[in-house]
Structure 1
Amino acid sequence: MKETEKLTATATVKSADRVLDIFELFADRHEPLNLSEISRQLDLPASSAHKLLQNLLARGYLETDKQGKTFRLGYKLFEIGSKYAGRTDMAEEFQYVALKMVDELNESVFMTIRNGEMALYVAEKQSTHPVRFVSHLGMQLPLHATAMGKVLLSGMTDEEIHTLYPDKQLGRLTETTVTDFGELMEQIGRIRVEGVGYSMGESVHGVRCAAAPIYGAPHKITASLGVSMPEARWDPKLWDRIVQAVSLGAKEISMKLYYAR
């Protein structure tokens, strides 16, 4: 190998290490980081860190705020992760549990994980009804506007939630979307006590959802399990069955993921 080729190979490997260092840094932190913090934490020249960050932004592996000053993990990592999840225990357990739930309820079942302020759909099992809520893997909806998203928020501390919404502004998707931060925190408090979250047409008009947390470790919510149904099919007895089924289903997946290990 020529000397120039050796230098290029060494530089390439070093750059790859730095990219992985950036991913690992964000994986250990809940809040966004700015350029100087990343540079300091990884002992990188600011110019080198800036170039790496811009490359990762361009590829979707990082996201930035409106001012372009702080960074966090982007959709691309979660997109890759959701595809890989098709081969993991959690996805396998979801399919097993969701199949039973659809057989019992004939309503659609979903699983989401958190991606910043969004709930990322990573698995689904559809009902046989011609009228149903249909998602696609990789779809994202705001945490505050979905039952599954609220469940994911309930696994965060109040401080972490305030950091996620520093200006306490919540976007509106439908006329029933929760836009008051205080009301959102009240709902999160009830989810922590009751173990189930709800949305009543808050992200998609005419669709109700009940969701429960999936735990991958003690007191750590890894994902959320939800059942969605059109309001046109709603009745109290079916809704009670949905709430019970989603709670039991999430516990079963949690048992398989963590408690049975």
Structure 2
Amino acid sequence: MGQQTPKVKSADRVLDIFELFTGDKESYNLTEISKGLNMPPSSTYLILQNMLNRGYLETDRSGKQFRIGYKLFTIRSGYMRSSSLTGEFNMIAEKIIDDLNETTSLAIKAGSDLLYIGEKVSTHALRFNPNVGSTLPLHATASGKIMLADLSMEELRALYPNDELEKVTDKTISTFSDLLKELNKVRTQGFGYNMGETVDGVHCVGGAIHDADGRTVASVSISIPVVRITGEVWGRVHDWIKRSCEELSTKVYGQQH
């Protein structure tokens, strides 16, 4: 006997209401929704009011006709931006791989961790390979420092209530005061650095992707084993980080530089 999918009646009813709007009509009144979905008018009314208060539905001037609200469009817009971000990142990361052949990553902040959401991996046998979906402590990564540099002292203290920080390698920043000094450098230089703080023998440079309001929403980084770093290569890494972050900020978020 197959396992049945558990159901939550109220959740099913909300989804039924959403699916009703995939039909030909743009708006429905309480009676039409109740009859169309075979739901009691009293519980239908309560669900509609809840969805209305949360912005998932809105009404006309009479207050009787319901239609899709702004919240779904906000969610869709966020999803489209996210999809566009990874798509645009993949295109520019291909160019970076063609030029440098060094691992290039796209990451966002997830609590006190850095979450990798995109990558193009070097073809060298010796390489840094952060898998999409994997996480690392923000303070131990170049991109993480980029994220942290955008936060206020209150926000930083909420993430790091203790003065001692987790060490990934013996080079990882291990105190809150040292982290603050590092973040001041990031704000001045415009780049985040990871000099063996995540993996011994691997250095990384990260830059900020900004939204239209100038807030840091994501970061691009390039990771290189120390044995392949030269002054010329290090300069090209910085050029690519600057270029890719500016392109992604402009194309995806409309940020003007």
TM-score category of the 2 structures, normalised to the smaller one: 0.5 to 0.7
Is contact 2:81-2:253 (8 Å) kept?
no
The corresponding residue for 1:102 is: 97
Which among 211, 214, 217 is matched to residue 216 of structure 1? Answer: 211
Alignment equivalent of 1:192, drawn from 181, 187, 191: 187
- Please give the alpha-carbon distance, in whole angstroms, between the structure 2 residues aligned to 1:204 and 1:224: 19
**Alignment partner, residue 225 of structure 2:** 230
The structural deviation recorded for 1:85 is 8.1
SS in 1 for 2:211: strand
TM-score (norm: length of structure 1): 0.66
In structure 2, what is the Cα distance between the partners aligned to 1:258 and 1:86?
8
Matching residue of 2:71: none
Tell me the equivalent position of 2:70. Answer: none
Pair 9,105 (structure 1): closer, same or farther in 2 beyond 3 Å: same
2:213–2:255 contact (8 Å) kept in structure 1: no
Q: Deviations over 1:213-250 (max 9, x none)?
A: 01123221110100001111111221111112112111
Change in 2 beyond 3 A, CA 1:260/1:250? closer
Q: Secondary structure at the match of 1:144?
A: helix
Amino acid at match of 1:259: G
- Residue type matched to 1:214 in 2? I
Supply the distance in 2 between the matched residues of 1:118 and 1:218 (Cα, whole angstroms): 23
Query: How far, CA to CA, are the matches of 1:193 and 1:96 in structure 2?
Result: 29
- Range with bigger deviation, 124-133 or 206-215: 124-133
Structure 2 vs 1, CA of residues 253 and 13 (structure 1 numbering), >3 Å: closer, same or farther?
Answer: same
CA contact (8 A) 1:86 1:92 kept: no
Which amino acid letter does the alignment assign opposite residue 247 of structure 1? K
Supply the RMSD in Å over aligned alpha carbons: 2.2
Aligned pairs (5 A) from 1:1-261: 9-10=9-10, 88-259=83-254
Instruction: Verify the 8 A CA contact 1:215 1:257 in the aligned structure 2.
Output: no
Larger deviation, residues 111-120 vs 235-244: 235-244
On the 8 A contact 1:207/1:229 being kept in 2, the answer is yes
Measure, in 2, the Cα distance between the counterparts of 1:99 and 1:86: 20
Gaps of 5+ in 2: 1-7, 15-78
Q: How far did 1:172 drift?
A: 0.7
Say if 1:214 and 1:223, in contact at 8 Å, map to a contact too: yes
Superposition TM-score, scaled by structure 2 size: 0.67
8 Å contact kept, 2:202–2:225: yes
The number of residues matched between the two structures is: 186
1:92–1:12 distance in 2 versus 1, CA, 3 Å: closer
Conserved? CA contact 1:111–1:121, under 8 Å = yes
Name the amino acid aligned to 1:241.
Answer: R
SS in 1 for 2:87: helix
What do residues 84-107 of structure 1 show as CA deviations (whole Å, max 9, x unaligned)? 789711011101111111111111
Gaps of 5+ in 1: 1-7, 15-83
- Maintained 8 Å contact 2:103/2:120: yes
What is the distance in 1 between the residues matched to 2:242 and 2:253? 16
Structure with higher helix content: 1
Q: Is this contact kept in 1: 2:106–2:117, CA < 8 A? A: yes
Identity %: 36
Task: Report the Cα offset of residue 13 of structure 1.
Answer: 5.2
Task: Rate the CA distance shift 1:161–1:260 in 2: closer, same or farther, 3 A.
Answer: closer
CA distance in structure 2 between the partners assigned to 1:88 and 1:193 by the alignment: 31
Paired AA for residue 9 in structure 2: A
CA 1:189–1:87: 2 relative to 1, 3 Å: closer
**Distance in 2 separating the partners of 1:255 and 1:191:** 21
Change (3 A) 1:249 1:13: same
Larger radius of gyration: 2
